[in-house]
Structure 1
Amino acid sequence: MAEVAQPIESQQSPIKQEEQQQNGDIEMLNGADSQTPIEGEKKEEEGDNKQDEPEEEKIPEDACETLYLQNLNEKVRIPVIIETLYSLFKPYRPLHPVIAHRNVRMRGQAFISFPDVKSANEAKKDVSEFPLYGKAIQISFARGRSDSIVKKLEGDEKFDEHQAHRLEEKKKKRRNNPLRQKAQAKLKAEETGAPTTKKQKLQMPDEYLPPNSVLFIQNLPEGTTSDDLREVFEVHSGLVEIRTIPAKKDIAFVEFQDENSATLAKDALHNFKIDGETKMKVTYARK
């Protein structure tokens, strides 16, 4: 019997094999493209991710736990200002007390402290220019730490050192005050008989001026207003009028109903420190 020939596996032509190989390479390339992002797309995605991450805010180098507030409405009473400021800054955990003074030199200003620098920085950023009683608050960091902060964070021992250093700095500033140095130089020149730089005008000494119902106020601190003087002089009966001089802001005239009322006010308020530091001079006015 004749043997049946086994079928030989079909062999493809070289051209067809080359076409299949090319088709396979194309499919592999397409598959790679669909799975692996291009390098440019990678960088773009990384950039987008970086933009989504919030940048950490930097705290200024001069930051401290205490804020210095300016441009406060001077017509509002001090207790009201203090209570309002504490309520305004309440979300940032302010510490007691809020410092605000009624004297002329510190009017319209206040100090408020916080538990840490971060809270103070957030309060400064959020509340700055807030229109409080019709005036935009101006806020900056205080030059130094407040007494309450030092006592809270450093303890009593450090607080005593801080307070002593602050008082010494205050005395130093007073000693170096140009007006004080000028007055001391003038007094020394008068005692030694040395000629002064300016020609002295001959005037009748104050103690020889005849009493009258009008008082002459001198050496007033900068920024003193008629309202400030009224607060001081109205405690004495018989006050009629207070006249300030726009061209010369360190003097004023205060008129009483009679000589007796003026004399009582003069004796009580001569050398009174209207701002806690500067002594004002009270004499009878010249007729």
Structure 2
Amino acid sequence: MADTQTAPQPEQAPAPPAASTSDAPVNGDADMADAAPQSAAAELPEGATEVLYVNNLNEKIHLPIMKQSLKVLFREYGNVLGVTAHSNVRMRGQAFVTLDSKEAAAKAVREVQKFPLYGRAMQLAFARTESDALVKKRHPDDMDEHLKTRAERKKVSRRENPLRRKRLAQKAAAKQAAETGQAPTLAAAAPRRIVQMPDEYLPPNKILFVQNLPDDTTKESLEALFHPYPNLLEVRTIPGRRNIAFVEFIDEHSSGVARDALHNSRFSGTTGAATGEEGLKIKVTFAKKG
């Protein structure tokens, strides 16, 4: 990901959301926050990085204006090291924002999630790879290797792009037709590859999808696991599929609290409790809408 240059300030830059005054930790409900020490506010969610993946951006906004707007918005949380966005079809409506610390990025995720920018509610998640700006700051000696790896990753992505394969097949068919004097014939088109958004990036939903549950999991043990989190409505197990379940809350905020607290925690299906060492690591994500 290449670092971006500063674009002209838009005439009406969107105002950032009001900074939170709460010292409560990210993962936990009100009761947990009251019992936690003040330093718990600094705890980071699992997988937190300095690089934010932002999607559902308004594609009609000119790219330089969108980059500058993101820079203005996120510098309320820390020093913005870089904003990366591209106009190609695969990356439209998406951007990567690099902040100077994981704490700043975590606070931005909490407060900017679903913030409407140019009429579109942004979706935020932590990126899984380092940006150019972050590598340059943290370990500049590895920059050459980082650029080489990124270029190779991009090369593989382009090579596997179904649109590129289709164009190459059309060119090959046209060349063969010119050589033989016959009308071009194309091989049957390969099934279209459906690119699905990773579960961790799915938009908020009041219903959670729980996976990788132990074989001895019961509805009662799941209710015991999710009961400490406020506004729980219902736990729904699937007949014949003990390793998955759906958990519904009153609203998306409540389900988000439970998801952040329990995702990748170890769970004992017998006792219905999150454990420190024993049990499987369960996967808790927002369910897909529609």
Task: Give me the TM-score of the superposition, normalised by structure 1.
Answer: 0.44
Answer 1 or 2: higher relative contact order, Cα 8 Å, separation at least 6: 2
Kindly indicate which of the two structures has a greater share of residues assigned to helix: 1
Kindly indicate which of the two structures has a greater share of residues assigned to strand: 2
